[in-house]
Chain A
Amino acid sequence: MVDGLLVAAVGTRYAGSMLFSELQVSATLAEPEHFSWLEVGLLLACIVASGALFFWRFGPILRNIFNSKKDADFSLHPIGRRVRDFVWEVLCQAKVIKQRPLPGLAHAFVFWGFLAFALVSLNHLANGVRLGFLSPASYIGGFYFLFAAAWALLVAVSIFGLFVRRFFVRPVWLGKKISYESGFIAFLIFLLMVTYLAAFFVDEGSGAVKALWWTHTLALLVFLPLIPHTKHLHLVLSPLTIFLKRDGFSKIPPLAGDEDFGLVAGRDVTQLISLQAYSCVECGRCTEHCPASTTGKALNPKEIILGMRSYLNEFGPASDSPLLVEAAEESPDNPPAKYMSMEAVFECTTCGSCEYQCPVGIQHVPIIIGLRRGVTNTGAWEDTYGTKLFLALEKNGNALGLSATERDKFIQKQGFPIFDGTQEYCLWLGCMGGYDPKGREIIADFARVMNYLGTTFGVLKKEKCTGDPARRLGNDLVFQTMAEFGLKTLETAKVQKIVAICPHCVRTISNDWREYGIAPEIEHHSEFMARYKDRLPKQSSGESIVYHDPCYLGRYQDIYEEPREIVAMAGKLVEAPRSHERSFCCGAGGGLAFLGEEKGERVSHVRAAELAGTGAQVVGTACPFCNTMFRDALSSVSEAPPQLLDIAQLTARALPAVVQPETPVQ
């Protein structure tokens, strides 16, 4: 292998010589031969000054991060996942490229160029103190310098392109304010590359060599103290941020102890949150895909993170000053004058698009829910609808505020057997399945599918809400009550397997309830039906069906293919423009289905228009909340709206009509 490398090195050198001999220049990097002791001293002084300035700015940031509250539930394990994420997201720049391909690739080149240049820069400075270790004359040195030169070219072109994009094309998501500092840094990077490349074209021993060397050095040393200033800190922090991410998507940490009510003030901000706040590169990808931000609401995930950063800069991590103000305030500054507002924070549907694609590992959803907890658990949030929801959950055990007898009547009418331990599955109705007319239709159809397949199931005699809306709105008291009740009910009834039609129920039971106990295994009805797809009838109508990925099934649980398999059996599958992990929220999540009227455009209408715009005859859903949201929205956005059917309904329509079991006479 070494022979091969040597051949490559010699070959490159030879080729380089051949190429440059035409231009009558050397194929090797010209380095200054002699540094006087005065110059060495000057260099050392500059390095010290640069380092001091860097730490003068970085020190307070490091202090803020270390002085923040420790994350009670943090664990370095499983470390394999952390290493994998680090390699994929940092080294391979996967998220950077995937979500915005062209600028992403340009950034990736700049990053990889940085890495490739590591030895170059080190050697460069070492030269200045007469300790240079890589010689351009040697084979390894020569090869490496040419290798770095190729990268320098790539970096120079990329940074130039990115500069043009930021300052002339001006994409909306990068914000209205021009950052002169970004421009200056782009210039410095460009200068570093140009001074490096130019050294290949100058004669050894000429004055130009020294000039280039000093220019390069000064550019480097001016760059260093600029790094801790605003977003350029990601150079240092983001590899760490990605490595130390919470394990799990939208992972809400348990409250720690009797005094913890969520993110009330600075003293509640944890180390992970501080680290994430300082890592934000202000790229605006979170904002670009946020359903609230794109429909004219106050919420802007980027501003939440930057607001957190500004708060830490001004008040510090030990402050008692509240994190949230009540109403959103307009501000010409970036970030907003008064950090984060209650108004904005309660416009979040917890869809997770922001967190899903953040290239530097920021986890927005736990932060937003933490902020909600801070005002809900302390009673500072006074909202008519929120209060009504919490009281309904407390009194009636369901989010719709209906009497539990309504669910009993539905079960009786449908003739569902009560779960008694002899059946295979417990069919979890949920609030929508038990009380909402459309949800009940979906349950009835899914029950038909199960009966057709001969799967035995029963429903719980008494079922309360999983607590999902309370959980997302930050009410841990109600959530705890619901979760503990649910766990106890399932345990008493000796349930082993659960199937549900609602992704919120599935996620909350399998994931969020872990704080209070382990529930039996639960799956979504799409997973169930996909498993039996060979036994379910295929329909030949050829009807076009556009499938909408629910947030809590797609991004939250990575279930994309199973529902599509079912849709494909019922007709022709059509994809929405934004699908899979880029699916656009229906607007119901985060407890928002139960809150008051939205400001700006309605999220459900935007998505309904997008779905109807595909020209499909049917909109296929896999979540009763999405179904409810689109029910009104579709007729508002289209003259001849497509039919709206859940995957259970799409499947059941092909089944033979089933005779209902006789309801027992009372």
Chain B
Amino acid sequence: MKILVAIKQVPERDAQIHVASDGRWIDESDLNYTINEPDAYALEEALQLKEKNGSGEVVVVCAGPERVTSTLREALAKGADRAIHIEADDLGERDTLGVAQILADAVKAEAPDLILTGLQSDDLGLGQTGVVLAELLGMPHATIIMQVEVTGSGLKVKRELEDGWFQHVEMPLPALLTIQSGGNKLRYATLMGIKKAKTKETKTVQVTAAAAGPAIRLERVYLPEKQKKTEMLTGTPTEVAAKIVEKLKFEVRVI
């Protein structure tokens, strides 16, 4: 079974983020980067599936500038077999569709049986890239996955819902899953892994012209401005609803 894992390199979790001087993005100069944590769990799930199966291939793909190759190398050191680096310096100007498109283009040729991504990214937290990627590739998908089981006819997965509820879904292959953190224990990169990683293939691809160009333009990035203005509305639901409509009409003026 060929499993493809889409990973993202993000700034370290406890990095101090400062808005850039032009106000349009963050100041990246002093940041350290690392693998997006949910993607690390996706990688771990892929490696465990391969180990349980006894055979197969795990391919990691990551889009970004030159610096993402270190995260790819780490993934190879942990046990992935091959890596694909999509060279892209403009990720900040791409929306989810834009990113999913360049991923889809790069992996179409691979024709994987299963694609795993993290549930969301630590920096933007949109939680959409995996889903959109599945749509572009015409694959069924399931999100917030805690457990994966390969059955004779496809997959049986366990989804995390709210309030302690879970959902089991049976689905065919090929498919895409977005993986929730905490399902497995992460492994550490070993010396043996790093040495083996040197011999594994990392392919660099360019963004194809067919993939849509930047679709968004960031106007401004700023820290939330605090304004202390909270008003509690009291009364029966009907009364409160009426008050809200009045405020939306005449104070906020959006309806």
Contact = CB atoms under 8 A, between A and B. Distances in A.
B is bound to A? yes
B255 to A, nearest CB: 43
Q: Closest 10 A-B residue pairs measured CB to CB?
A: A403-B14, A390-B188, A377-B191, A477-B191, A379-B190, A378-B192, A476-B191, A387-B188, A258-B195, A261-B192
16 contacts: A261-B192, A377-B190, A378-B190, A379-B192, A382-B187, A386-B188, A387-B187, A387-B188, A390-B188, A391-B188, A403-B14, A475-B188, A475-B190, A475-B191, A476-B191, A477-B191
B76 to A, nearest CB: 13
Contacts of A94: none
Contacts of A394: 188-189
A391 B35 CA distance: 12
A636 interface: no
B12 interface: yes
A405 B16 contact: yes
Chain B interface helix/strand/loop/mixed:
loop
Interface in B1-30: 12-14, 16
Contact of B193 (A258, A379, A382, A395): A379
Contact of A395 (B12, B16, B191): B12
Interface string B61-93: 000000000000000000000000000000000
Nearest to A259: B195
A341 interface: no
A386 B12 CA distance: 22
A653 B129 CA distance: 59
A387 B190 CA distance: 11
Contacts of A395: 12-13, 34
Nearest to A379: B190
Contacts of B191: 255, 261, 377-378, 475-477
Nearest to A480: B191
B185 A384 contact: yes
Contacts of B189: 394, 477
A379 to B, nearest CB: 4
B194 interface: yes
Interface residues of B, number: 16
B139 interface: no
Interface in A354-401: 376-379, 382, 384, 386-387, 390-391, 394-396
Interface string B171-189: 0000000000000011111
Contacts of A405: 14, 16
Query: Which of A384, A387, A395, A396 has the most CB atoms of chain B within a 10 A radius of its CB?
Result: A395
Contacts of B187: 379, 382, 387
A377 B192 contact: yes
A395 B13 CA distance: 9
Contacts of A387: 185-188
Given A379-B192, A395-B13, A475-B190, 20 more contacts: A261-B192, A378-B190, A378-B191, A378-B192, A379-B188, A379-B193, A382-B187, A384-B185, A386-B188, A387-B188, A390-B188, A391-B186, A391-B188, A394-B188, A404-B14, A405-B14, A477-B189, A477-B191, A477-B193, A478-B188
Nearest to A478: B188
A405 B30 CA distance: 14
B19 to A, nearest CB: 16
A376 B190 CA distance: 7
A477 B198 CA distance: 14
A91 to B, nearest CB: 42
Interface in A467-518: 475-478
Interface in B213-251: none
Nearest to A470: B188
B91 to A, nearest CB: 22
A476 B12 CA distance: 23
B168 to A, nearest CB: 27
Contacts of A476: 191
A376 B14 CA distance: 28
Nearest to B193: A379
Contacts of A404: 14
A461 to B, nearest CB: 11
A396 B188 CA distance: 14
Interface in A253-292: 255, 258, 261
